[in-house]
Structure 1
Amino acid sequence: MTRHPYLSRSTPRVLAHRGLVTPDAATQGVVENSFAAVAEAHAAGADYVESDCHLTADGEVVLFHDDDLQRVAGDPRAIADVRLHEIEELMAERGGLVTLAQALEAFPEVRFNLDVKAAAAAAEVGRLVAPHTERVLITSFSDERRLDTLAATRAAGATTRPATSPGSGTIARLLAARALRRTGRVRGILDDIDALQIPERQGPIRVVSRGLIRDAHAAGVEVHVWTVNDEDDMSRLLDLGVDGLVTDRADVALALVNRRGTASV
């Protein structure tokens, strides 16, 4: 399997989860998925920023995790019911709203890991990332939504697809196939997948294991684990062989990766 350009940089990868909000930035009111958070991740040296996509009432794709504005801005309205300028006003003192189009233009060196949160956003996300497929990974908890977004990139004229990580349904099938020792089925499930982006555990179920990492690597697929904020956990997972850490503390993870790299020279 040919490695996607999105994954051409060396491992381990640090994916800044919703950008980077340091403790100091948080005291100044900066929130996740804001322009300031993406800029801070970039400034800290993160090559990868993980974010989320919703569609506003007037059809703009914004980087925002929740379905509504309650947790971040104290406003109960759904993103889908609010126009762009209204969210911009709410985010003005929280680090600034960033649309997907703005993020791709303002940070041309950043590789974006985009979780498509709303079905209505799939077509527009696909259109926007079509000129940037070499530096975008598309994922979603919904495989249907993920595949719709990939199809939209092709419809928009992209000659290559973005990188992609599977949804929860595909992950469940993969774990079942591994439990049944169906090696061929595991390989088939991983076909056209570039990275498994998974939690270490899902409730009582262990998801990440040395065997899973081995099977993924045999299929040319990377393993990225979310969301890892403790430095000891970061070290343990890297020792286990994972390829990427999705973390709220990209600054801590980058420092750790740099120390490990220096120590191995």
Structure 2
Amino acid sequence: MVEHTLASFDAALDAGATGIELDVRLSADGQVVVWHDSVLSPSQCVSSGQDLVGARVCDLTLEQLRTVDIGTLTLGRFPDQQASPGARVSTLDEVLAHSLDRDPGVWWTIELKVDPRDEGESRSRHQLLEGVLESIHGAGIERQCFVHSFDWAVLELSARLAPDVLRSALVESQTWVAGSPWTGSVRVGESHDDVCAGAVAVGAQVVSPEHDLVDEAFVGRAHAAGLAVLPWTVNEPDRMRALVLAGVDGLVTDYPDRAVSVLMATDARGGPPGTGP
């Protein structure tokens, strides 16, 4: 299904996903909306009134965002993707209410899209986090969610504002480098040499690297540091299988049906005990 639509969350649950990862941003009027990119991409959006395609999400109110059809266009890289014509941008509260009504036990990995190189996004970091935490507490999912971000300053702030809510440190090869603006108070190669130690230092309980960075040795270091490992975005069954056998604690994937099949088959052959989707 087309991403960000309520139909896509239904499809994930139908496929057997036990957790859902989503992205959130702030609208111009301070609403926490479910959207990945900083702009309304022309490959994903069709204006039904004023032409807002290409506009920045942070410059549009929720009312304006609602005028855009986000479900009609499908993406060529997902040839089996199904349209959801007429779908509109949802708030985090709406997505949580919709999906928790279907599965009260589903876990939530809520990625706060904050680019520390963008002055506006850095300035609104606190407001976005407060809005997300309000939604988490309102939905009663404090014990079944992760605050998740590439911007580790978000995690440090969350540790102060809501120590009861778990935190997940996103990592890619471009963010764990000397001089990185993404690692909060951690200075790569100065205060910390190992990414797992750095994640612990900013108060994370989970480290979430791009999957190419993960092998059995990485999982071992993370577990020794007290971190769970949640790699992204893993779509090929062979790679899923290898990561499960390496001992990861979960997978982020565009194809939860594939992951469920791989996990069932791996368990049947004696994979890591207790491994689940």
TM-score range, shorter chain: 0.7 to 0.9
For residues 228-256 of structure 1, what are the alpha-carbon distances to aligned partners after superposition, in whole Å with 9 as ceiling and x for unaligned?
Answer: 11111111222222222111111111111
Amino acid at match of 2:57: I
Report the Cα offset of residue 93 of structure 1.
Answer: 4.0
| Map of 1:72 onto structure 2 | 44
TM-score (norm 1): 0.73
| Map of 1:123 onto structure 2 | 130
Say if 2:208 is the partner of 1:197.
yes
Report the Cα offset of residue 186 of structure 1.
Answer: 5.8
Identity, % of aligned pairs? 25
Amino acid at match of 1:129: I
CA shift in 2, pair 1:61/1:104, >3 Å: same
Structural mapping, 1:161-180, within 5 Å = 161-167=164-170, 168=175, 169-170=182-183
Report the Cα offset of residue 42 of structure 1.
Answer: 1.2
Amino acid at match of 1:199: E
Contact 1:198 1:226 in 2 (8 A): yes
Stretches of structure 1 that go unaligned for 5 or more consecutive residues are 1-20, 22-30, 155-159, 202-206
Stretches of structure 2 that go unaligned for 5 or more consecutive residues are 47-52, 73-83, 115-120, 176-181, 272-277
> Quick check: which one's helix share is greater?
1
Say if 2:106 is the partner of 1:113.
no
- Secondary structure, in 3 states, of the residue corresponding to 1:59? coil
Q: Among residues 12, 16, 38, which one is paired with 2:9 in the alignment? A: 38
Report the Cα offset of residue 189 of structure 1.
Answer: 5.0
CA distance in 2, matches of 1:199, 1:175: 18
- Secondary structure, in 3 states, of the residue corresponding to 1:102? helix
Structural mapping, 1:1-265, within 5 Å = 21=1, 31-70=2-41, 71-73=43-45, 75-91=53-69, 93-94=71-72, 95=84, 96=87, 97-108=89-100, 109=104, 110-118=106-114, 119=121, 120=124, 121-130=128-137, 131-152=140-161, 154=162, 161-167=164-170, 168=175, 169-170=182-183, 189-190=199-200, 192-201=203-212, 207-264=213-270
CA distance in 1, matches of 2:154, 2:186: 17
- Secondary structure, in 3 states, of the residue corresponding to 2:269? helix
Higher relative contact order (CA 8 A, sep 6+): 1
Report the Cα offset of residue 175 of structure 1.
Answer: 8.0
CA distance in 1, matches of 2:166, 2:55: 32
Contact 1:210 1:240 in 2 (8 A): yes
CA shift in 2, pair 1:252/1:176, >3 Å: farther
Report the Cα offset of residue 145 of structure 1.
Answer: 2.4
TM-score (norm 2): 0.70
Report the Cα offset of residue 98 of structure 1.
Answer: 2.4
- Secondary structure, in 3 states, of the residue corresponding to 1:107? helix
CA shift in 2, pair 1:244/1:41, >3 Å: same
Contact 2:17 2:256 in 1 (8 A): yes
CA distance in 2, matches of 1:248, 1:55: 24
CA shift in 2, pair 1:188/1:256, >3 Å: closer
- Secondary structure, in 3 states, of the residue corresponding to 1:225? coil
